[in-house]
């Protein structure tokens, strides 16, 4: 299974026809008997599913048109210049371009580097506390004595979601300042579910819940020592309970590489209203290895966490 297989069929069809057959939006409009604006919307949504939601203010539709070769030369140059001037746009466009090349998009344009854009943003100083008249870096709590979790922001689905990046104990934080009004800290909180390796797995990580300003609840998962994906394999997130039907919360869109770090979040679009109830009534959270995009039951588990309903 490739990341393309995890997309909704309408999004997958558009991206496949553009990437592998070189079709234009206009041609696809006639072929699929839908307005061209709907073709463009499907391409944009598909690319956001593959690359993650961009930061606020990033015009993903315009960037998708550019990367997919759907703009005239003058428009493409204007888009490239706009991307070069915005760090958020450059970062998202670079990820999107990489995903498209993985899917066979050999003609995807190169994303401009930082030398054509604004100076890098300053790195934040570590949080500090005062002890007996001196300042010392504030230490973060440890999960199993192995990981520290710093915070960066990632936009997912329809709003902001915190995602947690793992780093070594002695390594200073090197994340950009959060660009959101919600707050989160590296310390483990009441909204955290520790994740431990299953069987011989040495993986460990954390699931954290975050409430958006509109009241919606989302989650982020980060883990380390996760085995890299092999072949068509992807990682999936499930909720399970004894005697109940498991719920798949989605697939990790970014494969796990040799560094063994996995990051993902959710819930998927369409699950937002039901997710809080599922979280309250299901007993386990699993991260599993899958080769079937339509799997109805969890594959081999690599990580497992106990939800509040399973702790009693």
Dihedral, 149, 290, 276, 243 alpha carbons, nearest 10 = -130
The predicted pLDDT at position 115 comes to 54
Same domain (yes/no): 187, 268: yes
Same domain (yes/no): 146, 260: yes
What is the CB neighbour count within 10 angstroms for residue 16?
16
Residue showing tokens 């394999």: 233
Same domain (yes/no): 149, 92: no
CATH of residue 152: 2.60.40
The predicted pLDDT at position 255 comes to 79
Residue 107 lies in a domain: yes
Residue 127 lies in a domain: no
The structure tokens listed for 197 are 């390796």
Same domain (yes/no): 147, 246: yes
Count of positions (residues) in the chain? 312
What is the CB neighbour count within 10 angstroms for residue 297?
11
Residues spanned by the domain of 77 = 3-111
Chain centre to alpha carbon of residue 13: 22
The predicted pLDDT at position 12 comes to 86
The predicted pLDDT at position 250 comes to 81
Residues whose CB is less than 8 angstroms from the CB of residue 92 and which lie 6 or more positions away in sequence, other chains included: 51, 52, 54, 55, 58, 60, 63
Dihedral, 287, 291, 292, 298 alpha carbons, nearest 10 = -30
The predicted pLDDT at position 64 comes to 93
Residues whose CB is less than 8 angstroms from the CB of residue 203 and which lie 6 or more positions away in sequence, other chains included: 195, 196, 197, 223, 224, 225, 226, 227, 260, 262, 287, 302, 303
For the chain, give percent helix, strand, coil, nearest 5. Answer: 30, 25, 45
The phi, psi pair for 276, rounded to 5°, reads: -60, -40
Average pLDDT per run of 10 along the chain, which is 312 residues long? 75 86 89 90 92 90 94 93 93 91 81 60 37 36 34 30 35 34 38 88 90 81 90 87 88 82 83 86 92 80 91 72
Same domain (yes/no): 146, 58: no
Distance CA 183, CA 265 (A): 17
The predicted pLDDT at position 293 comes to 67
Same domain (yes/no): 71, 166: no
């Amino acid at each position: 299974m490739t990341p393309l297989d995890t997309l909704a069929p309408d999004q997958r069809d558009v991206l496949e026809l553009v990437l592998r057959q070189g079709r234009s939006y206009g041609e696809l409009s006639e072929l699929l008997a839908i307005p061209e604006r709907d073709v463009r919307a499907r391409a944009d949504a598909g690319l956001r599913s593959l690359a993650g939601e961009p930061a606020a203010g990033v015009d993903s539709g315009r960037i998708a048109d550019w990367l997919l070769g759907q703009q005239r030369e003058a428009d493409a140059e204007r888009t490239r210049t706009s991307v070069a001037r915005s760090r958020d746009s450059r970062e998202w466009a670079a990820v999107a371009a990489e995903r498209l090349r993985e899917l066979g998009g050999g003609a995807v344009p190169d994303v401009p580097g930082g030398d054509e854009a604004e100076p890098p943003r300053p790195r934040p100083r570590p949080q500090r506390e005062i002890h007996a008249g001196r300042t010392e870096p504030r230490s973060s709590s440890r999960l199993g004595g192995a990981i520290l979790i710093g915070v960066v922001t990632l936009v997912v689905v329809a709003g902001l979601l915190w995602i947690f990046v793992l780093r070594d104990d002695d390594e200073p934080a090197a994340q950009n300042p959060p660009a959101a009004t919600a707050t989160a800290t590296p310390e483990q909180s009441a909204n955290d579910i520790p994740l431990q390796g299953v069987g011989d797995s040495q993986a460990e990580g954390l699931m954290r819940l975050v409430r958006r300003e509109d009241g919606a609840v989302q989650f982020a998962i980060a883990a380390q020592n996760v085995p890299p994906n092999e072949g068509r394999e992807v990682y999936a997130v499930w909720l399970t309970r004894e005697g109940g039907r498991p719920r798949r919360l989605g697939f990790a869109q970014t494969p796990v590489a040799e560094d063994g770090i996995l990051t993902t979040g959710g819930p998927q679009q369409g699950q937002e209203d039901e997710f809080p109830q599922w979280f309250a009534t299901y007993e386990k959270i699993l991260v599993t290895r899958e080769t079937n995009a339509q799997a109805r039951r969890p594959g081999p588990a690599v990580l497992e966490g106990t939800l509040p309903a399973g702790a009693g």
